[in-house]
Structures are given as C-alpha cells and as structure tokens.
Amino acid sequence: MYRLTAIATTVAILAAPVAQARDLALAYFMGPKHPMNAAVFTPFAEKLAELSQGALTVTQFPGGALNSAPPKQYSILRDGVADIVFHPPGYTAQLFPVTTSVTTPGICDSALECTEALWRAYDVVEKEFDAKILAVWANDPHVIYTKDKPVRVLEDMAGLIVRVSSAQDAPFIEAQGASAASQPVSVVNQNLANGVIDAIAIDPSANLSFKLDEPANYITTNVPGSVTSFALLMNKGIYDSLSDEEKAWVDEASGKWLSMRGAETYHELAIKGIETARANGVEIITLNDEERARWEAAIQPALDQWEASVVGQGLTGAEVKALMKGE
C-alpha cells in the first residue's frame, strides 16, 4: 500500500504544471550606458528577478534595437513589439496632455519637485495611458544651448529656431520671440552643429548623454524653463495576463520609489552637465533675477491662456496645475 501511495504521489508531482519563467523585452532608444539604465531600467529588472526568484526576468534592447524612431515607442508597446518601453510622453504630447502639463513653467522647479507633482496627479495621469505605468518622472528645468549667438537678454531669443521637447512647450518659447521645433533628442546635436536649429531647450543633464557641449558655445541658465516627463511602461495585455502573485511582484518592483530614483539621478546629472560644459569651454550665462522677471512677464499671457483652456479629461490647465501643486 505504501509503495502504491508513493508511486501515485510521484506521478502527481510529475504531472503537475511547472511554472515557466517569463522573460520581458524592454526597449529604449538610448545606448546601454545612458544614466536611466542604471537609475531605472536595471533596478526594476533586478528587483523583479529578486522578488520572483527568477520567474520574471527582463532582457534589455537598447539603442533602437526594436525601434529606431523614438516617437514610436508607445506604438511598439501597444503593438506588442516590446513588453516594456521607455517613452517620453512629450514625443506624443497629443495623447498625454495632462502628463505633459508638468512641463508648464511655474508648476515645479526641479526634477524631484516635478516628479512629486506627477505623482500628486497620478490618478488622472494614469488614465491617459493604455499601459501599466511602472515609473513616471521628470528632469530639471531646461536651459538654452546655442552655437553662434549667446542669449543674455530676452531680446536675444528673437528669431531663433529652438528645439523643444514637447509641443506643450512651444507657446512659451514662442512668447519669448523664438520659433519652436519639436525634435527627438537623438538628432539635436547634429542639428545644432549643422544650423538646422539655432538653439536647444533641454535640461543640463542632456549634455552628458548627447555631448551638446561639442556644437554649443553658450548655455543660458535660470530661464523660466520647462521640464521633460518620462515613463517606463508595460504592455497592458501582458500585465493583465499575469497572475495576482506576478502582478504583486511587478507592482513592488516599480512605482514611486523607482520614479524618484530617475528624478534624483537627473538632478545630480544636471549639475554635472553644467560643470562639464564649463570645463569644456562653454560660456555659462546665468540670468539675474531682474532679467528672469522680464522673461516671466513675456510668457505670462501664454500661461494665462493655458490655465483657461481645457487640457484633457475635462480639466482646465488651472485645475491640472492645482492637482500637481497639491493645492
């Protein structure tokens, strides 16, 4: 009898379904040495593997291996080309008007503050994405990189073609007398060098990743600048197909703590980006308080118009701003 019971138990064990490890493809268009890999992508992957004891793993596909057009990151996620993507919502700003509202001057003043702002408004931010948000964060406010013309006063912006990160930023750049051009960050170094654009409005950390101090001779700081938002997203179908236990692993390996890591890294790199540019011979121009006030006055009508407009989900700009500022 004992022998039969032992045999039956063995057969039952062999017949039981074996949990299959699942590997998730994470796509991003930067190189593997980009700071967000060490700050966000790898910590998520390592935490997920640890929590799941190897049942859920992540394989990275950097450098455009799955998609060479950065604005299509969200599309390849929804189409199932990748399971997880890094996507700056500003590249498809029309889909994410609430999320990209964090770029509006005056909402926040640093990567940390802006990431907190996104999380204060998370309930409405989340509704814009047909995806599971693993992290959403921001960088420091932009500075102005120029090659041929130093920007020392507001009038120096007149007539410049300025690359912006999002269409959301365009009204504020244009209120300063310039023309806005939305372009992926992967092309801005070459475009500034070749004169396709006259200036780049981007946070200082970009100098380290994209070597902007090679074409740029001047950087203007303390401008009333916008920030850029970023998101690490998981395909919704993939997330929904997970068991409750697997979802719990993903949830614990992601979220606000991961977002703040991205923000902290961007803030540290913004400081280093300016220091590196200065060391490489770029002239750093800092607007004094009086001159900055002139820039703020110039963009105020555009801010008033944005606050009065319906941004998304029936919310006005003023209402989104209040959510993000916790008012």
**pLDDT number for residue 11:** 39
pLDDT digit string, tens, across residues 9-22: 333 434 434 347 89
pTM over 0.75: yes
CATH 3.40.190.170 fits 143-226+273-325, yes or no: yes
In the chain, where the domains are located: 20-139+228-268, 143-226+273-325
**Structure tokens given for 111:** 């990567």
Answer whether 20-139+228-268 and 143-226+273-325 agree in fold: yes
**pLDDT recorded at residue 165:** 84
Helix (H, G, I), strand (E, B) or coil at 87: strand
Q: What is the pLDDT of residues 118-163, one digit of tens each?
A: 999 999 999 999 999 999 999 999 999 999 999 999 999 999 999 9
Q: Are 134 and 232 in contact (CB under 8 A)?
A: yes
pLDDT score at 182? 87
Pairing between strand 283-286 and 143-146?
unpaired
Q: Which CATH superfamily is domain 20-139+228-268 in?
A: Bacterial extracellular solute-binding protein, family 7 (3.40.190.170)
Task: Annotate 206-237 with b (16+ C-beta within 10 A) or e (fewer).
Answer: bbbbbebbebbebbbbebbbbbbbbbbbbbee
Average pLDDT over the chain, rounded to whole?
Answer: 92
Confidence of residue 225 (pLDDT cuts 50, 70, 90): confident
* pLDDT tier at 184, thresholds 50, 70, 90: confident
- pLDDT, tens digit, 9 for 90 and up, residues 60-104: 999 999 998 889 999 999 999 999 999 999 889 899 999 999 999
